[in-house]
Amino acid sequence: MDEAGQADRAEQGDRPLRVARIQDVAKLAEVSTATVSRALASPERVSPEARARVFEAIAKTGYVPNPAARTLRSQKTYMVLVVLPDLANTFFSRILRGIEETLFEAGYGMIIGDLDGSPEKEAHFSAFTGAGRVDGAILLNGHLFGQRRDGSGQAARLSIPLVALCEAIPGADIPQIEIDNREAARRMTEHLASLGHSRIAYLSGPPENVLERERFKGYQDGLEAAGIAFDPSLVIPGDFTIGSGVTAGQDLVARAKRPTAVFCTSDEMAIGLMRTLLSAGIRVPEDMSVAGFDDIEFAAVAEPALTTIHQPRRELGQAAASALIDLLQGRPSPRSIRLDTELVIRDSVAPLR
Q: Which of 270, 213, 312 is nearest to 221 (CA)?
A: 213
Please compute, for residue 268, the number of CA atoms within 13 A of its CA located in the half-sphere on the CB side.
14
Per the CB < 8 A criterion, the answer to whether 304 and 273 are in contact is no
CB of 133 to DNA, least distance (A): 12
Among 23, 32, 33, 93, binds its own copies (CB under 8 A): 93
CA 117 to chain centre: 16
User: What's the sign of the alpha-carbon dihedral 58, 61, 64, 70?
Assistant: negative
Per the CB < 8 A criterion, the answer to whether 79 and 135 are in contact is yes
Among 1, 3, 13, 15, binds its own copies (CB under 8 A): 15
CA separation for the pair 240, 91 (Å, rounded): 10
| Candidates 40-48, 131-139, 228-236, 254-262; binding stretch for its own copies (CB under 8 A) | 131-139
CB of 22 to DNA, least distance (A): 3
User: What's the sign of the alpha-carbon dihedral 309, 312, 313, 316?
Assistant: negative
Given its phi and psi angles, is residue 250 left (phi above 0), alpha (psi -120 to 50 degrees) or beta?
alpha
List the beta bridge partners of residue 139.
Answer: 83, 164
The set of residues, in sequence order, having a beta carbon less than 8 Å from that of 272 and lying 6+ positions away, is 241, 242, 243, 244, 245, 246, 247, 248, 249
Give which of its own copies, DNA, none residue 45 binds (C-beta under 5 to 8 Å, depending on kind). DNA
| Candidates 47-55, 101-109, 166-174, 329-337; binding stretch for its own copies (CB under 8 A) | 101-109
CB of 130 to DNA, least distance (A): 12
Indicate the residue among 23 and 89 with the shorter CB distance to DNA: 23
Give which of DNA, its own copies, none residue 62 binds (C-beta under 5 to 8 Å, depending on kind). its own copies
Residue 272: burial class (beta carbons within 10 Å; 0-12, 13-18, 19+) = buried
Among 9, 52, 109, 351, binds its own copies (CB under 8 A): 109
23 counts as binding its own copies under rule CB under 8 A:
no
Give which of its own copies, DNA, none residue 31 binds (C-beta under 5 to 8 Å, depending on kind). DNA
CA separation for the pair 110, 164 (Å, rounded): 16
Give the three-class secondary structure for 243.
helix
276: number of Cβ within 10 Å: 18
Site residues (vs DNA, CB under 7 A): 18-23, 30-38, 40-41, 45-47, 49-51, 63, 65-66, 69-70, 72-74
Give which of its own copies, DNA, none residue 275 binds (C-beta under 5 to 8 Å, depending on kind). its own copies
4 counts as binding its own copies under rule CB under 8 A:
no
Per the CB < 8 A criterion, the answer to whether 223 and 192 are in contact is no
CB of 119 to its own copies, least distance (A): 14
| Residue 317 amino acid letter | G
Give which of its own copies, DNA, none residue 283 binds (C-beta under 5 to 8 Å, depending on kind). none
Among 23, 32, 33, 71, binds its own copies (CB under 8 A): 71
Q: Which residues bind its own copies (CB under 8 A)?
A: 14-16, 19, 62, 64-69, 71-72, 77, 79, 87-90, 92-94, 96-97, 100-101, 104, 109-112, 114, 116, 121, 124, 127-128, 130-133, 153-158, 242, 245-246, 268, 271-272, 274-275, 278, 297-298, 300-303, 305
